[in-house]
Amino acid sequence: MNPYNARAIRFVAALAGFAVIAVGAVCIAQSAAQSAQESAPHANAAVGSSNASPIYGVTIPPGYRDWELISLNHLVTDKVGQLRAQFGNDIAIKAFKEGTVPFPDGTIIAAVHWNQVSSKETDQLIGGTFPGAHSVFAGSPANVQFMVKNSKKYAATGGWGFADFKNGKPSDLAVHEACFPCHEPAKAHDFVFAHYAPAPP
């Protein structure tokens, strides 16, 4: 084989190898960017978006039901009977576990509320172990609420953006105007009512 042809073939092969590496690097970079975008909090939609909360522009973060549980509570009034669970993203959970107050920017807390229901059948089944027991459990979903910490963007409301959704749609302006005043009694805990429920020893 002509030495010039051999060198040309080696040169073309080297170029092809570099092209494959470059394409691979681009794909990796794009994949990493996409993963970062998917894992980032979706809480900065433009105000006015049909899927964003009024005033604050908070949208529903994807995958929030898979976040770690913060705590549970049972709300009963003359008009409401609800079972409530609070979930937190990684930033929130770390802050709760370490007792960090105020919560750092990037914290997102989700509060999922269900209408409580009871069952005589269930009461009878557990009655042998717990005589006279009356149990309640989660029925139809009532709503889901979010608190998003961004100390600069939401400086006027203690650093928190709020959202309330029913059936995937944000509640009206009046509901969101009441969010921060409702949380003001919890100012000493950075306006957060929930406290981390430890695992049993």
Nearest one of 173, 175, 119 to 142, comparing CA atoms: 175
**Is there a domain that residue 57 lies in?**
no
**Is there a domain that residue 159 lies in?**
yes
Residues 91 and 171 in one domain: yes
**Is there a domain that residue 124 lies in?**
yes
Distant-in-sequence, close-in-space partners of 45: CB < 8 Å, separation ≥ 6: 51, 52, 57, 58, 59
pLDDT of residue 49: 52
**Is there a domain that residue 180 lies in?**
yes
User: What residues make up the domain containing 23?
Assistant: 1-39
pLDDT of residue 50: 73
Mean pLDDT per block of 10 residues along the chain (201 residues) reads: 46 40 37 37 47 98 98 95 98 98 98 95 88 92 98 98 97 98 98 95 89
- Sequential DSSP letters for 10-46: HHHHHHHHHHHHHHHHHHHHHHHHHHHHHHS----PP
